[in-house]
Every structure is written in C-alpha cells, then in structure tokens.
Chain A
Amino acid sequence: MSLDQAGPAAPPAPGPATRTAGRRGAGAVGRRRNGGRSGRRWTPWLFLAPALLLFLYFKFIPMVSALTMSFQEVQPYLGNTWVGTENYTTVLQSSGFREAAWHTVVLAAGQTAGSMALGLALALLMEGQSRRLGFVRSAAFLPVVVPIAVVAELWRIMYHPTEDGMLNSLLGLVGFGPSGFINDPDTSMASIMLTGIWRGAPYDMMIFLAGLTGVDRGLYEAAKVDGASRWQRIRYVTVPGLRSVFSILFILAAIRGLRVFTEVFLLTNGGPDGSTEVVMTLIYKLGLEQNRLGVGAAGAVLLFVATLILTVVVQLLRRRESK
C-alpha cells in the first residue's frame, strides 16, 4: 500500500487510495479499509445529503418556483396559465407597489445610516477593557437578541399615542408633545425607523468594536506625537482602518432593510393610510390575503434583483477602492 503514496502527479483515477493520497499531498497515507471505489467516492455526498436535500426543498425549489410563478397566473388546484411578463407590468405600473418600494428604500436607508452612525459612536465610546465597560456593552447589546416580535409589541405600547403614553410622557418632560407615533401618517415611518435603529445599532456596535481591535495602535501614538486632535485621529486613523467593516455592515444592513417585514407587519401592518407599506408587507397581502400569487412573486423577484444589484455594486466599489 505504501507504494500507492504517489506524488501530486498521480493520475486522477487509478484507485481510491491513490487519489486521496495524491490530492492531500506529501505525508498522507491512503485509506486502506473497506469499500470499493464507488463507496469512497460517495462518502462526501452521503455526509452532504441532508444539507443539500433541505436546501433543495426549502431554498432552491422555492427560488425556481418564485421565478416561474412570476410569469404565471397562479391558481392553486386549477392549474397555472403562462402570462408572460404581465405580472411584472402589473407590479411596476401599480402605484401601490411604487409607493411601497419608495417606503422600503427610505426605511432601509434611514435604518442603515442611523444604526451605523449610532453603532460607530457607541463603539468609539465603549472601546476599552474595563469590566464596567463589558457590562454596559452587554446591556446595550440586549435589544439584538430579543425576538423581533417582542420588540414590536413592546414598542407598540411605548408608542401609545396619548399624552401619558410612555414615550409621549418623556417627550412631555422636555416640552414636546404628544406625538401620534405609529398612528400618525406623518410620523409612522420615522417611528418604525427608530425601533429598527434601536435594535440595529448595538449589532453594528459589536462589529465595529471587533474592527477597532484591528486598527494599528502605533498609528494613534504617532498621531499623538504629531499633535493630532481626537477628531483628526478618528478622521485619519480610525475611519480608514475600518473601511472593510463599513462596507460589510452597509451590505448587511441595507439587505436587512430591503427585506424588512416583521416589525412593520406588527407595528403598523402598512398603515395608517398606507404610509408605512413596504414591499414585503405588500407581497404578503397580495399573495396570502388576496391570493394573487403570481403578482406577489413578481414583486419578490424584483426585490431579490434589487438586493443582488446592491451587493454586487458595493463589492465592485470595494474592489476598485482597494486597488
């Protein structure tokens, strides 16, 4: 068997033992026990089978069927008819969808910017090692692990629109007052955004904190020697050092924002007067309440294309910048 320990130049298929030995490079000992050629070759696939099967059923088949559904008039139990791009025309021409798309973009942009700005501020303030800081950081991180449904119900009550609602009584203390929050079309979007930032900022903070540990400490010392102010240190040392963290957080947060569903569904369900209708709540209503599955699927495909484009664009920008 030791003769089988051929170098990397071993032909690809003389026998299973040689194959593994060859690919693993020097020092690898060929497997010698049981099984014919086919058994060996199938081993990795046996280990992968559960994962691939589940992905096939619950990711890839739904993806393909979303695509085909978007070109069909879907009638469960009656059979689907091919309608070409009609669903897409319907979606793109409906003012409801255009408005929902705009709301989604506004919400995604607001939440992304808000969470990142606040997250960076928190990370800068709480960088360091002391025990007390660890406690504050953990406490600040709690919103991230609280289930989204709980967050929504909690904020719903906090946003109670009368003068003695929780947040309104706080506003009253500083002389503002009472806001309708999610019950008022003028403030509903901002209110959902605020809830999203509350839950998103601590997450961004943790990622920024991890990124900050990678910033070269020596550069701070050097900046200090050069007499740089705190602001200059952040501007010229910290921010450039965090560049890759920024773009990753941006992609993550923006995609999270585009697919937002649960908090809007629970806080306002698109209301009042459609002021917070986002693409996902609209798709949910089209598909599961009005049974217009084809039109809903077309909306979903468009949303997917948007997230894909966003990811690709940000990656390209990153690559160009790093050159």
Chain B
Amino acid sequence: MSAPTETALGLTESRSPGGRALKAVVYLLVLIVFAGPLLALLVSAFGHVKDPTQLSVIPSGVTLDNFTVAFDQGVLAYLLNSFFVVGFGLLLQVAVSVLAGYALARKVFPGMTLVLVAILATLMLPEEILALPLSLILSDLPLLHVNLIGTLAGMIVPLGAWGFSILVMTEFMKDVPRELEEAARIDGAGDLRIFFQIILPMCKPALGVIGVFGFTMIWDQYLLPLLVSVDASSYTLPLALRTLRIDPDVTPGVVMAAALLALLPSVIVFLFFQRSFVSGLSSGALKG
C-alpha cells in the first residue's frame, strides 16, 4: 500500500468528529454484514440450537454438545479424510509446480511457448464443464485402467497440477539471479543439485503463496469429491455437511458445529498468511 496521502474519497483526512463518527458507523456496518453471519455460525456451534429459528449472534449459553453429537455422526472421520486429501494434494501440487516452474523459468527449449499456452488454456477451462467426462475417466484411467472412483486418491491426483501455482513459481524463479546458477555450474553442480540447493531455497516466498492458495483451493473443493465418492466412507467434511443437514435427527447446531470445523482450517491459514495471500491475489488477478 502506498503512503497515506490522498485517497479517492479523501476519508482518511477527515478529522472532524462528524467525519469520524460516520466512518465508525460505516465500518461497523461492514463488519455486521460480512462477519455477522460467521459470528452467528460460531455462536450456534457452541449454543443450544435445536431448530433453525434459534440461529442468532446472541449467545445462548456455551456447550460442547453439538460437537459431541457431530463426532458421534462420524465428523472426525470426514475431517480426517479432508486432512488427508489436502495434505497429499498440496504436497503433490507443490512438487509438480516447482518442477514445472524450474523448467519454464530456467530453461530454453523448443516447444516452450506451446507448453505455456497449454497451461494458460487449463486455467480457462472451468472444472465444472469437465465434470461429466472426468467422472468417466476417473472410473477407468486411459492406458492405466485404474478405477479411482470411491477412493481419496481420486480427489487428490486431479488437483496435482494447477496452472496458477505453476505460473506463480515460473514468474518467481525467473528472478533468481543467473550468476548464482552459473557459479554452481562451474563448481560442477548438475540440474537436480542446482534445483534443490540454489533455486528452491530462494523461492520460499513463492512457496508460501502457492501453499496458501493451494490449500484454500483444495479445501474448498466440492464438485470433485462429489463426483468421486460413492458412499460416506470417502466423504470430505464439506460433502458431509449436506448429509448431516438431511439427517432428521441432527439439529442445526450440530450442522453449524461441523461447518465450523470445516471452515476453521482455511480461516486459520488465511489469518496466518494474510500478507502472501493478499499479494498473491492481487498479482495473480492483475496480471490476468
């Protein structure tokens, strides 16, 4: 952000009591509108909420009953599925992205433009549109003839390559000084060694960005797990929310408790890595 000089509305300049009061009202309104529903979720997860009409931001006592019931309903297993998917998915995605980024940023080879265009094309290809053929392909991978339907691997492998992460890594690796790499080459280091000992350690900020975005992206997946899972044993937590809601024995308080568990990881990741999140967001979007 730039120096606190002029802004479009010039609000920061207003020091008068009226101006300050107006600002306070505006900010409070923003908080109510955008954080209010989440506060309601939090309060009802810990409250005695038996039917939807009791949902509110005013606490009605604190209890862990909702969580106990949620765990009885198997929420722990769903949560573990989610962690498994996001853990291995992210590991795969980061590995794939740094490898591809290295080739695209540090090598010149025939066909490179084509590869870049192909990667950009995948970014313009919404996953939703591929849903039907993808579900068929996952049930019988071409050449390999493996069936991934009903397995957690089916929710992980398709997310291994993500154009956004690859492009972020490529852009960042381009900025690592050539001299470092050349010095290493003179000392006799090969590609792998240069990659692991010189390029990767210099890319920590970019690793942060793709880690945060990859995590949020994988944690937020809904359609892919929906296509892949056949029964509750492979449900991720977001999928399980719907099953919980439909269950007549489960109160909204319990659904909100499970929902809280489902949103907490991404909110925590966001709050911890806000800086790289916001910078990655704006650079990614503004570069188009």
Q: Given the interface contacts A198-B34, A220-B6, A252-B285, does A41 sit within 8 Å of B109 by beta carbon? A: yes
Contact with B along A74-112 (1 / 0, CB 8 A): 001000000000000000000000000000000000000
A-B contact pairs, 15 of them (CB 8 A): A28-B178, A44-B112, A69-B132, A128-B12, A129-B3, A145-B267, A146-B263, A147-B266, A148-B238, A150-B41, A150-B263, A198-B37, A202-B34, A210-B286, A259-B128
Decide: A50 near B286, CB < 8 A? Known: A234-B8, A300-B131: no
A41 to B125, CA, bound (A): 30
6 tightest Cβ-Cβ pairs between the two chains A and B: A210-B282, A149-B238, A54-B161, A47-B103, A220-B6, A51-B100
Contact with B134, one of A33, A58, A129, A307 (Cβ below 8 angstroms): A58
Task: Assess the B242–A153 pair: CB atoms within 8 A.
Answer: yes
Contact A297–B133 (Cβ < 8 Å): yes
B62 near A: Cβ within 8 Å?
A: no
Closest approach, in angstroms, between the C-beta of A3 and any C-beta of chain B? 16
A248 to B286, CA, bound (A): 7
> Does B46 sit at the interface, judged by CB under 8 A?
no
Task: Name which residue of chain B comes closest to A292, CB basis.
Answer: B132
- Complex CA distance for A23 and B106, rounded to whole angstroms: 12
Residues of B within 8 A of A198 (CB): 33-34, 37
- Encoded as 1 (CB less than 8 Å from any B CB) or 0, chain A from 112 to 147 comes to 000000000010111111101100101111110111
Given the known A-B contacts A47-B100, A55-B118, A210-B286, are A125 and B37 also in contact in the complex, defined by CB atoms under 8 Å? no
Given contacts A57-B137, A262-B222, A293-B136, contact A124 B9 (CB under 8 A): yes
Give CA–CA (A215, B122) in the complex, Å.
32
Interface 0/1 of A36-55, CB less than 8 Å to B: 00000101110110111011
Q: Which of B7, B104, B134, B252 has the most CB of A within 10 A?
A: B7
Asked if residues A148 and B222 are in contact (CB atoms below 8 Å), the reply is: yes
Q: Which residue of B lies closest to A210 (CB)?
A: B282
Q: Are B8 and A127 in contact (CB under 8 A)?
A: yes
A296 and B132 in contact, given A57-B141, A63-B125, A127-B8 (Cβ under 8 angstroms): yes
Chain A residues closer than 8 Å to B10, beta-carbon distance: 220, 230, 233
Distance between A226 CB and nearest chain B CB, rounded to angstroms: 14
Question: What residues of A have a CB within 8 angstroms of the CB of B109 in the complex?
Answer: 41, 44-45
**Structural contact, B104 and A48, CB atoms closer than 8 A:** yes
Report how many residues on chain A are interfacial, defined by Cβ distance under 8 Å: 112
CB contacts (< 8 Å) of A249 on chain B: these are 285
Task: Judge whether A179 is part of the interface by a CB distance below 8 angstroms.
Answer: no
- Which residues of B are in contact with A by a Cβ distance under 8 Å? 1-12, 26-27, 30-31, 33-35, 37-38, 40-41, 44, 52-53, 55-56, 95-97, 99-100, 102-104, 107-109, 112, 115, 118-119, 122, 124-126, 128-137, 141-142, 157-158, 160-161, 166, 178, 182, 185-186, 188-191, 195, 216, 219-220, 222-223, 227, 238-239, 241-242, 245, 252, 255-256, 259, 262-263, 266-267, 269-271, 274, 278, 281-282, 285-286, 288
Q: Which of A31, A128, A261 contacts B7 (CB 8 A)?
A: A128
Known: A45-B109, A259-B126. 6 other contacts (CB 8 A): A44-B112, A129-B4, A138-B274, A157-B44, A166-B53, A212-B8
Cβ of A217 and Cβ of B103 under 8 Å apart? Answer: no
Q: Is the CB of B259 within 8 A of A145?
A: no
Given contacts A29-B185, A146-B267, contact A220 B8 (CB under 8 A): yes
Contact A58 B137 (CB under 8 A): yes
Contact across chains for A54 and B160 when beta carbons are under 8 A apart: yes
Q: Which residues of B contact A288 (CB under 8 A)?
A: 132, 135, 227
- Known interface pairs A198-B34, A207-B285; A156-B245 also in contact (CB < 8 Å): yes
Task: Chain A residues near B238: list those with CB within 8 A.
Answer: 147-150
- Pair A158/B161 contact, Cβ less than 8 Å: no
Contact A206 B282 (CB under 8 A): yes
Does A62 lie within 8 Å of B130, measured CB to CB?
yes
Tell me which residues from 219 to 272 in chain A have a Cβ below 8 Å from any Cβ of chain B. Answer: 220-221, 224, 230, 233-234, 237-238, 244-245, 248-249, 252, 255, 259, 261-262, 266
